[in-house]
Structure 1
């Protein structure tokens, strides 16, 4: 295994890209979906299961881990890989989005952001340098710059202010990260839904010659067509030889549409959160197990799935577990959902390699559309 961080573009099909990120702890096949392990765990899953489903990398979060158990404690315990028993690559989010969305009484200025924990009210300070320090203590393999993510819609002046601040924080984050050959720090493109601001942000980050680039500030309330238009305007500005990561996205359709526009990496809580709330993602589309129509349905979610949760349990049983608020409901549906997401990504990668991504996309969308007509 390489001792350096590298991205190799192996094949293209239209704008869709098939690649590999190689790092000392392993190879990430792209396009890749990263299950979210916010606080050092993918909710309702054993990490051995997550690996068996085909996950090459998981995500952890600075905000949650700095609050508990604390980055310094994780470092004393051997780092996040040892702590969580996941010896493969980990990407850490900088914590910026969570500070903006979860923390109480936050105060932001050029230096960084001060906030009170949503858990116990303890006051913390998070700067670009401290975020990188925490990610270093966690020993993550791909680290994110600290940025300011604002919700849409917003005034242009506010979007521009946050974008410019994020660029200055990117420079400080890169300086704090320094030269770490086996790891990477990604910059985050901001600019809301304003095309010229997105392009300006992407151009400035590209000039920094970072190892990878993220598109942030989407999936924050805007319609899908706005997100896709933003990708179409932004991605051509980013270097073709570097990985492109769309943060916090999304549904299976979001993934399929974004790959078609040139995105390489994704993360989202959707498959795990949906599983805990009785919703299954399958090749037939979404199945709401709370619905009474499933009460006596002996069919599994998908008899062709390699995942036991989708293949071996009846919809009637899953419906019962959901309605009875049994913990096993969230466990089985999360397992099934992550299996479907990884199966989808594997299919996407194979289709790009063989030059039939458009056909795969059409077939997948047809399966979802036909599923809407079935009693599921």
Structure 2
């Protein structure tokens, strides 16, 4: 079996063009990973997700350990077979849920004890248990278990969480089962503080990982602060390993983060927005609830090749949204995922041709125009 690897194919300014090879396939980078938290990309069939151009999806340790259970998924052949996704899968370690479920958990050096949001039962998640669960799931890319401090937090609290996360990173590395084609990513923490990010990066590099994620951003600090943090953080990470910005983001975030050296992204935004009547287009977001679409026979985006734009009018989308029909979520989610994958493909081509700066300027100009004029 092929070893897990990352090949840097080229660069244009800070933007990088690469290729990740893992057990279940190849991922062209920069890449956007649709989120399939509970072994499903909501409102989509796996083959439809693949049809958008997505090569890797994300699952979640916390949610899958609670339901249906990692042991059950392992008995049924692993997450790939269970959810009928033959391509690569990355699993989040559960660390983000440690932050978001702060009312339901108790944290100490060993790990986190928390109450299930489903039935109130108690569970303990440690670095070792997180590695075990992700191994049972069969994740191509396993994420270290970490603590993600919220924003804003006092610097002393961010420092404590960062130091704990680095100790957990070492334990995650020790517990990870090395095998060909499977990789483990460390997670850089430190909030918006350059010295803490540097300390975290040094600790992670000393431990040694197959890729390096940037955590603790997109948690309320705003785009300007996120970008300024990325400006120094990406430079601290190895150039010969993939860099993954967790939980990001809006199209403008993706383009700006690629410019700062990020290779991989995930976010619930395209799928969640698809379920709440928001569509992303080259001219910016569109709200299909608005009455202006009710008599509009035009497609959502005449530059998009997805089935939604090929086969359905804005008037129809407006109707099924207002009627609460399930097909509304299906059609808008498909379109949004297609938009995101097309955006990443355009980014890759721009880096390859040495025109990324021009692409970025054109994107910002076009995306800020707003929707086409109503009829």
Which TM-score band applies after superposition, normalised by the shorter structure? over 0.9
> What is the deviation of 1:198?
1.1
Residue 342 (structure 2) aligns with: 343
Residue 98 (structure 1) aligns with: 97
Residue 180 (structure 1) aligns with: 179
Residue 355 (structure 1) aligns with: 354
CA contact (8 A) 1:184 1:211 kept: yes
SS in 2 for 1:20: strand
Residue 87 (structure 1) aligns with: 86
SS in 1 for 2:230: helix
Residue 110 (structure 1) aligns with: 109
User: Equivalences for 1:234-273 in 2 at 5 Å?
Assistant: 234-273=233-272
> What is the deviation of 1:24?
2.4
TM-score (norm 2): 0.98
CA contact (8 A) 2:23 2:180 kept: no
CA contact (8 A) 1:303 1:312 kept: no
CA pair 196-373 structure 1, distance change in 2 beyond 3 A? farther
Question: Residues of 2 paired with 1:346 and 1:86: CA distance?
Answer: 21
Question: Residues of 2 paired with 1:66 and 1:366: CA distance?
Answer: 44
Aligned residues: 375
SS in 2 for 1:8: strand
TM-score (norm 1): 0.98
1:192 is the counterpart of 2:210: no
Select between 28-37 and 306-315 the one with higher mean Cα deviation.
Answer: 306-315
> What is the deviation of 1:103?
6.6
Question: Residues of 2 paired with 1:86 and 1:248: CA distance?
Answer: 21
Question: Residues of 1 paired with 2:87 and 2:262: CA distance?
Answer: 22
SS in 2 for 1:371: coil
1:29 is the counterpart of 2:25: no
User: Over residues 146-204 of structure 1, what are the superposed CA-to-partner deviations in whole Å (9 max), with x where a residue is unaligned?
Assistant: 00011101101100000000000000000001432311110001111111111111121
Question: Residues of 2 paired with 1:323 and 1:287: CA distance?
Answer: 15
CA contact (8 A) 1:219 1:249 kept: yes
Question: Residues of 2 paired with 1:100 and 1:152: CA distance?
Answer: 10
Residue 68 (structure 2) aligns with: 69
Question: Residues of 1 paired with 2:296 and 2:31: CA distance?
Answer: 34
CA contact (8 A) 2:99 2:150 kept: no
SS in 2 for 1:12: strand
CA pair 119-104 structure 1, distance change in 2 beyond 3 A? farther
User: Equivalences for 1:112-151 in 2 at 5 Å?
Assistant: 112-151=111-150
1:333 is the counterpart of 2:332: yes
CA contact (8 A) 1:301 1:311 kept: no
Residue 220 (structure 2) aligns with: 221
User: Over residues 56-103 of structure 1, what are the superposed CA-to-partner deviations in whole Å (9 max), with x where a residue is unaligned?
Assistant: 100000000000000000000000000011111000000111132137
- In structure 2, runs of 5+ residues without a counterpart are none
> What is the deviation of 1:297?
1.3
Question: Residues of 1 paired with 2:251 and 2:351: CA distance?
Answer: 17
> What is the deviation of 1:311?
2.9
Question: Residues of 1 paired with 2:50 and 2:101: CA distance?
Answer: 29
CA contact (8 A) 1:104 1:118 kept: no
User: Equivalences for 1:318-329 in 2 at 5 Å?
Assistant: 318-329=317-328
> What is the deviation of 1:298?
1.3
Question: Residues of 2 paired with 1:268 and 1:24: CA distance?
Answer: 23
CA contact (8 A) 2:32 2:265 kept: yes
> What is the deviation of 1:104?
4.8
Question: Residues of 1 paired with 2:336 and 2:330: CA distance?
Answer: 10
Residue 14 (structure 1) aligns with: 13
CA contact (8 A) 2:286 2:371 kept: no
Select between 83-92 and 197-206 the one with higher mean Cα deviation.
Answer: 197-206
CA contact (8 A) 1:104 1:116 kept: no
- In structure 1, runs of 5+ residues without a counterpart are none
CA contact (8 A) 1:188 1:214 kept: yes
Question: Residues of 1 paired with 2:294 and 2:7: CA distance?
Answer: 49
> What is the deviation of 1:292?
1.4
1:294 is the counterpart of 2:293: yes
User: Over residues 231-289 of structure 1, what are the superposed CA-to-partner deviations in whole Å (9 max), with x where a residue is unaligned?
Assistant: 11111010000000000000000000000000000000000000000000011110011
